[in-house]
Structures are given as C-alpha cells and as structure tokens.
C-alpha cells in the first residue's frame, strides 16, 4: 500500500510493540481529527467518508461489548494483547496508508479523478469543481437525467461553449443554444435540456 505524506509505518529498531502501536495510533487519531475539521470546509464533505469511515468501522471492532461508543471513535486506547495487538496495528496501518486519510490526500485523489475524466470525456474540471460536483449531489442529478457517460459528454460540450453559455445565462435566455458543430445532435439536445433544468447548476461547471 502506498504511504501518505511519507510517514514511517514500519516498526523502528528501538521500539517495543506497544510503543510502535502507540505511535501509529496517535498519528492516526491526529489524522482523524484533521479529517473531521476538513469535512466542515468547502470541497471536503467526503473527508469523513472513504478512509475515515473504514477507520471508524475498524475501531468499533476493538471496543468491548457494553463500553460507551458515544464519544469520538479513536485508535489510541488500551492496547489489546497477543495477536490482537498485531491485528489492530494492521488496521491502523491500513488507515494511515490510505490516500484519503489526509486532506492533501483527498485533494490528490480529486486531481487524479479530474485528470481521468477530463482525458476520457473532454471536460475541463478543476479538482475543486469536481469535488463540488460530487459533494453537492449534482453528479447524481446529472446521472439520473442523462446517464453518467452522456452527462459528462454534455458537461464537456457546455464547458467548450463557456462564453456562449455564460452570455445566455446572464440574459436568462437559454432556449436552443447552438453549440459547436463538432458535437452531435444527441449532445446538442442534452445540452439544451440541461440548460432548461433548474436543478442542474450549470454555473458551477463553467
């Protein structure tokens, strides 16, 4: 698994197993706090999903029945014994090695995803636009209306005709806008459908 932020996930020669556990657990808990704070910021709603969500599921496995689970879930608790300690260390390492266990890691994931989508569909998403597209639920709305592939091709056509679309939006005249002749009739049709659909926030994509 790729390490995030080049953090040393291996046991140091001078560390006991418990010291190793404590070091990893403290670092993991710091990252979880960082993700909780990030989730309240624009573009990072997913911070408490992905790696964070898996970490909370893993932590729950180590809470004895009957213990209070109402507080924030954290890794750095009393270390289990024997093979269970190794197993919990592996859970912590799994979280720390996840690309989405840090704010910068989430940005990197969005950048990579934006590059892939842009290359495949001709869109011009920045990572922030893509984050907003998914966080706001717009991706679900577009997919439901057009299907995922057609939605992305339609967004690409809208972005290619950015100036024309912006002028139409400003004039509140979004009827039958003629887009680039390179786009086929199906995309022309879906562009005009998208422009007339109030729930699809075109401005966020430009």
Q: What's the mean per-residue pLDDT of the chain?
A: 89
Task: Please say if the pLDDT value at position 2 is more than 60.
Answer: no
What token pair was written down for 36? 């909780």
According to the model, what pLDDT value does residue 164 have? 82
pLDDT digits (tens, 9 = 90+) for 22-60: 999 999 999 999 999 999 999 999 999 999 999 999 999
Instruction: Collapse the DSSP code of 74 into the 3-class scheme (helix H, G, I; strand E, B; otherwise coil) and give the result.
Output: coil
Higher pLDDT, 173 or 200: 200
d(CA 127, CA 115): 9
The reported pLDDT for the residue numbered 131 is 95
The H or E element that residue 87 is part of is: helix 83-96
What CA–CA distance (Å, rounded) separates 36 from 48? 6
d(CA 16, CA 12): 8
Say if CB 151 and CB 130 are below 8 A apart: no
Predicted confidence at residue 70, as pLDDT, reads 56
Q: Is residue 97 scored above 50 in pLDDT?
A: yes
Asked whether residue 68 carries a pLDDT value surpassing 70, the answer given is no
The structural domains of the chain, with segments of one domain joined by +, span 17-101, 109-205
Cβ contact 110:131 at 8 Å: yes
Dihedral pair phi/psi, residue 57, rounded to 5°: -65, -40
Residue 5 has pLDDT above 90, yes or no: no
Task: Give the range among 26-30, 161-165, 168-172 with minimum mean pLDDT.
Answer: 168-172
At residue 1, the pLDDT reads: 38
Quickly count: other Cβ atoms within 10 Å of residue 17's Cβ. Answer: 12
Question: Looking at the predicted structure, is the pLDDT value of residue 182 above 70?
Answer: no
The mean per-residue pLDDT over the stretch 119-146 comes to 94
Pull the structure tokens for residue 200: 């699809």
């Amino acid at each position: 698994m790729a390490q995030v932020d080049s953090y040393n996930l291996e046991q140091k020669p001078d560390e006991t197993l418990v010291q190793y556990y404590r070091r990893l657990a403290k670092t993991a808990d710091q990252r979880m706090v960082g993700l909780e704070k990030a989730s309240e910021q624009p573009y990072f709603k997913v911070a408490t999903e992905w790696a964070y969500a898996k970490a909370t599921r893993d932590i729950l496995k180590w809470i004895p029945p009957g213990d209070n689970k109402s507080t924030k879930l954290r890794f750095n608790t009393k270390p289990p014994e024997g093979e269970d300690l190794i197993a919990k260390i592996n859970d912590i390492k799994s979280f720390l090695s996840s690309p989405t266990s840090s704010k910068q890691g989430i940005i990197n994931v969005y950048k990579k995803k934006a590059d892939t989508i842009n290359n495949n569909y001709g869109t011009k998403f920045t990572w922030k636009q893509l984050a907003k597209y998914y966080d706001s639920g717009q991706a679900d709305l577009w997919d439901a209306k057009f299907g995922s592939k057609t939605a992305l091709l339609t967004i690409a056509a809208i972005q290619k005709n950015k100036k024309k679309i912006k002028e139409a939006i400003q004039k509140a005249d979004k009827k039958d806008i003629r887009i680039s002749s390179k786009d086929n009739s199906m995309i022309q049709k879906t562009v005009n459908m998208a422009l007339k659909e109030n729930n699809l926030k075109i401005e966020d994509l430009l």
